[in-house]
Chain A
Amino acid sequence: QVQLQESGPGLVKASQTLSLTCTVSGGSISSGYYYWSWIRQPAGKGLEWIGRIYASGSTNYNPSLKSRVTISGDTSKNQFSLKLSSVTAADTAVYYCARDFKDNWNDYGMDVWGQGTTVTVSS
């Protein structure tokens, strides 16, 4: 059974870079079948997709965040990571990682999620 776990600092200073890691157990990020996504949710608000990475290292990003986001993978540790630069208070949210599958023919959705980690941007 695949499980995902987010980790990283809970507090980041404004203008700095937010860095989070998602550790995958029970499955391999290099399997070449699934994508691995990051999603965030400000308190009391809806979900926002940040981006995703495939086994090959190819990425897709939310156009509204693209200039500040980098998602990378470490197959040796079976982890994938999120970096969000130049953060502001608007980036304060619960950040989730999730297993994702969507290609040109099928879309199985985001079927396995981490528990989420809260990141607060302080001034």
Chain B
Amino acid sequence: QSVLTQPPSVSAAPGQKVTISCSGSSSNIGNDYVSWYQQFPGTAPKLLIYENNKRPSGIPDRFSGSKSGTSATLGITGLQTGDEADYYCATWDSSLSGGRVFGGGTKLTVL
């Protein structure tokens, strides 16, 4: 059971837009920044978004992030078949002794 809640799967057609939600609580998302990671099968995760809505160098602006209260959202526009991957949200949880926490991951299928 992950601390952050994501839908197990989402799907959309090429060229369309998709959003992936990430729900938490006041001790994690409500109190800190959210980051997003993209992972293809058999490879390491890749940082897509940090500090809620900032993109590392090299990440196209088709990827965007937002946060409101205790929830965050990853948006992907102009979907490409190459975007088909697992996506994870993450943040810091300040309960107990603190630490990074992840969502359970969302499988994006580009139909």
| Complex contact B102–A46 (CB within 8 A) | yes
Q: Which of A47, A52, A106, A108 contacts B102 (CB 8 A)?
A: A47
| Complex contact B103–A62 (CB within 8 A) | no
- The chain A residue sitting closest to B36, CB to CB, is A109
Alpha-carbon distance between A58 and B2 when the two chains are bound, in angstroms: 26
With an 8 A cutoff between CB atoms, is A96 at the interface?
yes
Kindly list chain A residues whose C-beta atoms are within 8 Å of the C-beta of B63: none
One of B11-19, B73-81, B90-98 contacting the partner: B90-98
Alpha-carbon distance between A39 and B44 when the two chains are bound, in angstroms: 10
CB distance from B20 to the nearest CB of A (A): 14
With an 8 A cutoff between CB atoms, is A10 at the interface?
no
Alpha-carbon distance between A49 and B4 when the two chains are bound, in angstroms: 13
| Complex contact B100–A37 (CB within 8 A) | yes
Kindly list chain A residues whose C-beta atoms are within 8 Å of the C-beta of B35: 107, 109-110
How many residues on the A side are at the interface (Cβ–Cβ under 8 A)?
Answer: 26
With an 8 A cutoff between CB atoms, is A113 at the interface?
yes
Kindly list chain B residues whose C-beta atoms are within 8 Å of the C-beta of A96: 44-45
With an 8 A cutoff between CB atoms, is A51 at the interface?
yes
Kindly list chain B residues whose C-beta atoms are within 8 Å of the C-beta of A106: 33, 51
Q: Chain B: residues with CB nearer than 8 A to chain A?
A: 2, 32-33, 35, 37, 43-47, 49-51, 56, 88, 90-92, 96-105
A-B contact pairs, 12 of them (CB 8 A): A46-B2, A47-B105, A49-B90, A49-B100, A63-B97, A96-B44, A107-B91, A110-B35, A110-B37, A110-B47, A115-B43, A115-B44
Q: What are the 6 closest A-B residue pairs judged by CB atoms, nearest first?
A: A109-B50, A109-B35, A49-B100, A113-B44, A107-B33, A47-B102
